[in-house]
Structure 1
Amino acid sequence: MNKIPLFKELKHDRWVKPFFKQYKKTLVTALILGFFTFFCGSALMFNSGYLISKSASLPVNILLVYVPIVLTRAFGIGRPLFKYLERLTSHNWVLKMTSKLRLKLYQTLEKDAVFFKRDYRMGDVLGLLAEDINHLQNLYLRTIFPTVIAWIIYIFVVIGVGFFSWWFALVMLLYFGGILIVFPLWSVIVNGARQKREKVLKNELYTDLTDNVLGISDWIFSQRAQEYVALHEDSEAELLAVQAKLRKFNNLRNFLFELAFGMLAILTLLWTSTRFIGTHGGDANWIAAFVLAVFPLVDAFAGLPAASQETNIYADSLNRLNNLPDKAITKKVETDLPQNPLDLKVQHVSFQYTATQKEVLKDITINISQGEKIAILGRSGSGKSTLANLLRGDLQPTKGSILLGDAVVSTLDDTVADYIGVIQQVPYLFNTTVINNVRLGNENATEKEVWDVLERVNLKKMIAALPNGLETMVDEAGLRFSGGERHRLALARILLQNTPIVILDEPTVGLDPITEQALINTFMQELKNKTIIWITHHLKGIDNVDRVIFIENGILEMEGSPTYLEQTSARYRNLKNIDNGE
């Protein structure tokens, strides 16, 4: 019953199902080789048991044991040979499949990265890559292949025993059927939910860790590092508790499984003792042969219960992959460009990622007038960076709307760059010349215009002193320049771009206090006639803005001018004192 979700996902699957037909011959070959691996294992023990018994009965002619000796050698060689060929074939097939799955995943994400970002976070991508693709690989290696092979062996054993005794064949039919059905079903019922919960917790850890590590500075500067550690430890403790329950159940199930096969060996011994009774070797030689042949079958059935309990997470992995967009998202219909005044209006905006259904922002309403300077504060995960992405149109609100002038921001597509510029926390400089890096803001800028903006950001003397001036090569990622200098080059790009609105996304993180204050002063002086939206985690330089907005857990908690908050909010005063080292 719990396997139904997997069958439903496979029925409508467009990720894994196509490989069944594409590699049908390889799949069949792997199954045949798998069957012969276990057949040779049981046949080896069968012949060995017969050979030992026959030899102990003092055969009158060596030729009576010659054939069993040859067969024993043949099956002894055949078992590792078939096992190697089966592993080679099945793993080669699965690795081909998973490599193409990863390629398809990359291509799917690449089709429209902006809209994928709307629905998924970095942790979700890691979950897709690290968990889901690997689960689909295990779906074949640990579930489909072993299950099909086990059922083939099951049918073969029942038919084979039927040649000697129809009633014992019926016993084997019921006994093996119980092992094939009861243990996997028991595992699915008891451990299936735990296995799925383990996967969910791992995916949540991927997401939380990437979010928190990328915003670790927020936790540190807000003096909440211990809280971050505690949250992570709580998540890990829950995961470890689930894994402990999984191991405990697995140990019990494996013990009972081994016990069941031990009982099967005893049952076979009792049957052969009554069926093959003779003197001086006679029919009694078959007793050891049949009993020993039972033991290699353990390997054929042992992995089925563990594989069955994972069917829920296989279904979940298929569901996550099949929910990805199959085709590139079409461009939106072009709308009229925004008209002055270029006010930003955030109207009852809520946002949640599709993958987690977690509401990051809840009913936010903010009006930002043209030329106004605001600071948006909040700890990591509070939603401030998400709000910045919404303001630029990189994300679309789940509810509500964001207008620039009279135009919906998310409909502007690439033209939004003409209105809103961004200086990131870590500005990237490309491994080309200084002038090419600065001209990213305006490809048609003249050399004089480049020198003018470099002078405005206090870099003209430093660049002029370089051996090749503007033609000096910038090392990859801008390692030639300090953190403050990289931010000033990013500001030079924005000045060339000349957008009316600039988002400063924590541009002073990691800078020493003197450099930080100097950079803030430069930003405010050179962008004084523009709308500034400053995303920050602490309050240094906060008196330069017109309004401060605090976001906590996706809700607008506090809003007002620095002076007003200084007078009315004890929390604001406390945060400011912390930033000042008081």
Structure 2
Amino acid sequence: MHNIPLFKALEKDSWIRPFLKRYKKTMIAALFLGFMTFFCAGALMFTSGFLISRSASIPENILLVYVPIVLTRAFGIGRPVFRYVERLVSHNWVLKMTSQLRLKLYNTLEKDAVFFKRHYSLGDVLGLLAEDINHIQNLYLRTIFPTIIAWILYIFVVIALGIFSIPFACLMALMLFSIAVVLPLWSVVVNGARQEKEKQLKNELYSELTDNVIGVSDWIFSQRGHEYVNWHDQSEKSLQDTQAHLQKFNRRRDFLLQVIVCLIVIALLFWTSQQFPGNHGGPANWIAAFVLSALPLADAFSGLPDAAQETNIYKDSIKRLNNLPIIEDYSTKKVLQEPLDIKIDHLVFRYEKNSTEVLNNLNLTISQGEKLAVLGRSGSGKSTLVSLIRGDLVPTSGSVQLAGVATEQIGDRISDYIGVIQQAPYLFHTTILNNLRIGNEQAEISEVWEVLRRVGLEQLVKELPEGLNTMVDEAGLRFSGGERHRMALARILLKDVPIVLLDEPTVGLDPITEQALIDTFFKQLSEKTIIWVTHHLQGIDKMQRVIFIEDGQLEMSGTPDELAKSNSRYRKLKAIDEGNF
């Protein structure tokens, strides 16, 4: 069993095995109920066979068949009851497990959500979210649970027969072993390779078919259409041949399984006739009881080869889940102590698929309450720096700390300290009130009106048909760009975070709206730390310090006045921005 691919995949598993321990009581209950389902099925046939045989011998007294009648009724009722309860318990266990798996998966993906495409394609994401979790669910319901229940029955049957005859118990153990172990292993070894080939052929066929359909005009213009059709036919034939071999093997294996079951029935018939000799009545009545009980018990073992064969499907899902980055729960519950300074120390960052440093040995300290402008060309690393400050990315080396704590370790609580206003603030398809309360669900109505007044939207909202309860169109399209930015600012004010990141919020606005928005920003955020990422220098004089990042390094730093006097490059940038160059 150790060589089965599934068990190899589970050796270093950190996703599936922990749930065996976490929900072990429910799992044990499901296994017990599953065992009782098959036990009642076998016992029903056992007592029914005895009852029919005993009744046919014309018992002298009805009391001689009263107990079998009661047991037949009890096991007849018990089987569907145990089956139903077992389904409830096992599915409850699996659903609890998969819900936790999905939560863990979403947390894993969210950790690097902003730049997730560095690691995974869209197909990988869909496969992780949909197929892989479903495969894990089937792993338990269709493989692990049935296999364990069958092994419990295997042990029970062998011990029960051993009470009557140890040699016959050994014979039955050997025959059942061929169904419970030999056939499943045979299925994995033989059909496992074929399933891998089938999967590979399908992937190649889909990939090539997609590419060639997109480029079908090239095939036609080059007059190679027949060549493509022939190639496609060959690929299809190869896939069909592999699938035919899979089906042929399954038919042969299932036939062999039925032969073994038939041999078990014949062996029981022969053994019981020797073990319980006699004519009508007496010991001879046990023959039908033992023989008939073997048929429902065989159902518990007949699905094991298919269950083992499916492990080849599950192993890939387990591998993909375990190849995801480990998410460490860094989130600190303590309140960060002032001063809420941001310290960037020897910061280096590069994306995995790019060996070039986006940020290279960057050192910077932003004091609480400081107003800092970050300039730089597109691709210079400004947006990456913002993501690092927010804790959305982890430095390749060096650190980004807020109040002495690495930002990536603060987790979701970073939103209590840092707010962001981006180029295109998003408004959700709900009421204005709900949109504003996103950061502070407990905010009073009076507080909401106050922040609307502060950002200059109070009158606008009052004039709307339903005021704060007015529905916002998807993405807030009923509002202008400047109004959406003011809504975003109102959210920040309602949340009352001490640090605000302005990620080029005035891009695309006309000069008048831009200047009015800048004035509002800096008036309402006067007591907060502001980090303004921009390539546009309008309003730059309101900043206390300006830095310029180029090729991932800090090229210049100083107050607007200092740079205007001493830095020719800054003067040139400002002249270009003002249209005087």
Letter in 2 for 1:431: G
Sort the Cα spacing of 1:315 and 1:275 in 2 relative to 1 into closer, same or farther, 3 A.
same
> In the aligned structure 1, how far is the partner of 2:482 from the partner of 2:235?
46
Aligned pair partner of 2:476 in 431, 455, 463: 431
Q: Which residues of 2 match residues 115-126 of structure 1 at below 5 A?
A: 115-126=115-126
Q: Which residue of 2 aligns with 1:172?
A: 172
Distance 1:237 1:266, change over 3 A: same
Give the unaligned 5+ runs of structure 2. Answer: 331-342, 361-375, 388-421, 425-473, 489-502, 515-533, 539-548, 551-575, 577-581
SS in 2 for 1:274: helix
Contact kept, 8 Å, 2:350 with 2:359, in 1: the verdict is no
Q: Would the alpha carbon gap of residues 258 and 105 (structure 1) be closer, same or farther in structure 2, given more than 3 Å must change?
A: same
Q: Which amino acid aligns with 1:280?
A: H
Query: C-alpha distance in 2, partners of 1:86/1:292?
Result: 24
Q: Structure 1, residues 127-164: CA drift from partner, whole Å, max 9, x if none? A: 22333212211211111111111111111111111122
**1:442 & 1:8 partners in 2: Cα distance?**
50
8 Å contact 1:194–1:246 — kept in the other structure? yes
Query: Is residue 251 of structure 1 aligned with residue 251 of structure 2?
Result: yes
Query: What percentage of residue pairs aligned between the two structures are identical?
Result: 55
Could you tell me which residue of structure 2 aligns to residue 160 of structure 1? 160
Deviation at 1:205, TM superposition (A): 7.7
- After superposition, the Cα gap between the structure-2 partners of 1:14 and 1:224, relative to the gap in structure 1 and judged at 3 Å, is farther
| Number of residue pairs aligned between Structure 1 and Structure 2 | 396
1:271-350 map, 5 Å: 271-327=271-327
- Structure 2: how far apart are the matches of 1:308 and 1:146? 10
Matched, 1:414 2:384: yes
> 2-side partners of 1:208 and 1:270: how far apart?
60
Judge conservation of contact 2:359–2:381 (CA < 8 Å) in 1.
Answer: no
Relative to structure 1, the CA distance from residue 288 to residue 410 in structure 2 (aligned partners, 3 Å threshold; closer, same or farther) is farther
The CA deviation at 1:242 is: 3.8
- Structure 1 unpaired stretches of 5+: 338-392, 424-428, 453-493, 502-528, 530-582
Seen in structure 2, the aligned counterparts of structure 1 residues 205 and 278 have a Cα distance that, compared at 3 Å, is: same
* Cα distance per residue 1:478-519 (max 9 Å; x no partner): xxxxxxxxxxxxxxxx99899x99xxxxxxxxxxxxxxxxxx
Evaluate the alpha carbon distance shift between residue 234 and residue 126 of structure 1 in structure 2; reply closer, same or farther with a 3 A threshold. Answer: farther
Which amino acid in the other structure matches residue 102 of structure 2?
Answer: R
CA contact (8 A) 1:159 1:169 kept: yes
1:73 matched residue in structure 2: 73
Superposed, which structure 2 residues align to 1:52-451 within 5 Å? 52-199=52-199, 219=215, 240-327=240-327, 396-397=352-353, 413-414=383-384, 430-432=475-477, 433-436=479-482, 442-444=504-506, 448-449=510-511
Partner Cα separation in structure 2 for residue 235 and residue 96 of structure 1: 42
Correspondence for 1:23: 23
Cα distance, 1:53 vs structure 2: 0.7
CA distance in 2, matches of 1:298, 1:153: 10
**Cα deviation, residue 34, structure 1:** 0.4
Shift of 1:422: 12
C-alpha distance in 2 between matches for 1:264 and 1:147: 20
Cα deviation for residue 175 of structure 1 reads 1.4
Quick check: 2:47–2:71 contact (8 Å CA) kept in 1? yes
Q: 1:97 to 1:329 in 2, by over 3 A?
A: closer
2: CA distance between counterparts of 1:84 and 1:399? Answer: 58
Change (3 A) 1:336 1:402: closer
Cα pair distance change 1:447/1:310, threshold 3 Å: closer
CA distance in 2, matches of 1:329, 1:409: 31
- Asked if structure 1 preserves the Cα contact closer than 8 Å seen for 2:350 and 2:357, the reply is no
3-state SS of 1:295 partner? helix
Distance (Å, rounded) in 2 between the aligned partners of 1:329 and 1:57: 72
Secondary structure class of the residue paired with 1:290 = helix
Superposed, 1:466-481 pairs within 5 Å as none
Paired AA for residue 430 in structure 1: A
Task: Report the Cα offset of residue 303 of structure 1.
Answer: 1.4
- CA offsets 1:453-483 (integer angstroms, 9 cap, x no match): xxxxxxxxxxxxxxxxxxxxxxxxxxxxxxx
Partner of 1:120: helix, strand, or coil? coil
8 A contact 1:403–1:409 mirrored in 2: no
CA offsets, 1:209-260, max 9 Å, x none?
A: 9x879xx9x6478788998x97998877665554433222222211211121
Taking the aligned partners of 2:537 and 2:73, their CA distance within structure 1 comes to 80
Residue type of the partner of 2:316?
D
Q: CA 1:180–1:271 in structure 2 vs 1: closer, same or farther (change >3 Å)? A: same
Deviations 1:153-207 (A, max 9, x none): 1111111111222211111121112221110111011112233444556677888
Counterparts in 2 of 1:56 and 1:63: CA distance versus 1, 3 Å: same
Distance 1:92 1:236 in 2: 41
Please state whether the residue corresponding to 1:430 is helix, strand or coil.
Answer: helix
Following the alignment from structure 1 to structure 2, what is the Cα–Cα distance between the partners of residues 497 and 282? Answer: 105
The alignment yields a C-alpha RMSD, in angstroms, of: 4.7
* Structure-1 residue corresponding to 2:442: none
Q: Is the 8 A contact 2:188 2:308 kept in 1?
A: yes
Aligned equivalents of 1:438, 1:234: Cα separation in 2: 57
1:224–1:304 distance in 2 versus 1, CA, 3 Å:
farther
Output the amino acid matched with 1:184. Answer: P
Cα distance in 2 for partners of 1:317, 1:95 equals 17
SS in 2 for 1:326: coil
The CA distance in 2 between the partners of 1:258 and 1:436, in whole Å, is 75
Alignment-mate amino acid for residue 435 of structure 1: G
CA shift in 2, pair 1:85/1:446, >3 Å: closer
Deviation at 1:122, TM superposition (A): 0.6
Matched letter for residue 142 of structure 1: R
Return the alpha-carbon distance in structure 1 between the equivalents of residues 217 and 314 of structure 2: 41
Q: Per-residue displacement from partner, 1:388-436 (whole Å, max 9, x unpaired)?
A: xxxxx996436678999x999696553599xxx999xxxxx93332425
Classify 1:291/1:34 alpha carbon distance in 2 versus 1 (closer, same or farther; 3 Å).
same
For residue 335 of structure 1, report the CA deviation from its aligned partner: 7.5
Contact 1:30–1:86 (8 Å) recurs in 2: yes
Which region of structure 1 is more displaced relative to structure 2, 241-250 or 258-267? 241-250
Cα deviation per residue 1:524-559 (whole Å; 9 max; x = unaligned)? xxxxx9xxxxxxxxxxxxxxxxxxxxxxxxxxxxxx
Deviations 1:48-89 (A, max 9, x none): 111111011111101101110110011011011101111111
Alpha-carbon distance change, 239 to 89 in structure 1, aligned in 2, over 3 angstroms:
farther
Query: Measured at CA, do residues 450 and 151 of structure 1 come closer, stay the same or move farther in structure 2, by a change above 3 Å?
Result: farther
Q: Tell me what 1:510 maps to.
A: none
Letter in 2 for 1:116: F
